[in-house]
Amino acid sequence: LEPESIQIYQLYREKVVHEDTLINFRTSWFVTLQAFLFTSLALTLPKMSSDLDFPIEYIFILFSLIGIAASITTIVSVEAADAAINKAAAKWSKPYYDDEGRVPELGVRDVVDPAGLLPAIKGGGSNEGIGVRGKSSSVVLPGAIGMLWLIMFCYSAIKLVHSA
Residue 48: pLDDT over 80 = no
Q: What are the backbone dihedrals phi and psi of residue 95, each rounded to the nearest 5 degrees, phi first?
A: -60, 150
Contact predicate 127/89, CB 8 Å: no
CA distances to 43, 64, 83, 119, 147 from 70, rounded to whole Å, are 21, 10, 20, 36, 12
Instruction: Note the pLDDT of residue 119.
Output: 83
The pLDDT tens digits for 9-45 are 999 999 999 999 999 999 999 999 999 999 998 888 8
- Residues whose CB is less than 8 angstroms from the CB of residue 59 and which lie 6 or more positions away in sequence, other chains included: 41, 45, 48, 52
- Residues whose CB is less than 8 angstroms from the CB of residue 89 and which lie 6 or more positions away in sequence, other chains included: 16, 121, 122, 126
The pLDDT tens digits for 72-111 are 999 999 999 999 998 888 888 876 666 777 766 667 788 7
> Number of folded domains in the chain?
1
Question: For residues 142 and 52, which has the higher predicted lDDT (pLDDT)?
Answer: 142
Helix, coil or strand: residue 95: strand
For residues 50 and 54, give the distance between their C-alpha atoms in angstroms, rounded to a whole number: 10
Residue type for position 107: G
The pLDDT tens digits for 109-148 are 887 888 888 888 887 655 556 656 667 788 899 999 999 9
Residue 67: pLDDT over 80 = yes
Provide the domain limits for residue 36: 3-163
Mean pLDDT throughout 51-79?
A: 92
Please choose, from the candidates 24, 27, 11, the residue with its C-alpha nearest in 3D space to the C-alpha of residue 112: 11
Residue type for position 164: A
Instruction: Note the pLDDT of residue 113.
Output: 82
